[in-house]
Amino acid sequence: MSVKVKTPILATFTMPGLCIGCGDPPTPGAKHKAEHSRTAGKRTATTSLEFPVCQRCAEASRQRLVGWIPLGLALLIAIWPGFAAFMLLLGAIFSMDLQALILGLVIAAFTVAVLLLGGWLKQRIDTWGMTAEQRQRRRIVDRSVRISQIESGSVVFEFEDPAYALGFSNMNLGQLT
């Protein structure tokens, strides 16, 4: 269960001197990024904050460059079927053509499957050769913190570790919610 911390928007946030994943002393330069994006009209604003991690959590969380290849290929493969599915579904809605609707749905399902496969392969490549303990660390770090909301003048963080949430809250004028 996550603990929510609401803090004012500060120019810089002070981090507890602990790894966000396991609570060990952090390694200088090793970070885990939490991001939140919001869209207003045609503008998208992304807020990101880097939390310290220890050497073992940093190694378990690293992304392999070669892992992006299957995801990029999946995107390239899915572009045209996705466009075709969109056009078929749009045409089927206006013409009430059941065959075009079914074909559009089948192509859309294929497109989604290709994208999911690309994401799955990226995850498999990133964790290739890792021990069970390293995979567990990776999951813990990935779920450790999330920026859930940005309101006028405040930011809401969700932490998995209540002790880290309390430390972060105390150091950044926050309140537990």
Report the DSSP pairing between strands 145-151 and 154-159.
antiparallel
Bridge partners (DSSP) listed for residue 45: 38
Q: For residue 1, what pLDDT band results from cuts at 50, 70 and 90?
A: low
The whole-number pLDDT of residue 96 equals 85
The whole-number pLDDT of residue 51 equals 93
48-71 average pLDDT score: 86
Do 18 and 161 touch, CB atoms closer than 8 A?
no
Q: pLDDT > 90: what percent of the chain?
A: 47
pLDDT in tens, 118-143: 999 988 887 888 788 888 888 999 99
C-alpha distances in Å from residue 101, one per residue of 24, 77, 110? 55, 21, 14
Who contacts 67 (Cβ-Cβ below 8 Å, separation ≥6)?
121, 122, 123, 125, 126
Helices (H) and strands (E) in the chain, counts: 5, 6
Instruction: Tell me 129's DSSP state.
Output: T
Residue located via tokens 């920026």: 147
122's tokens: 């990226």
The whole-number pLDDT of residue 81 equals 92
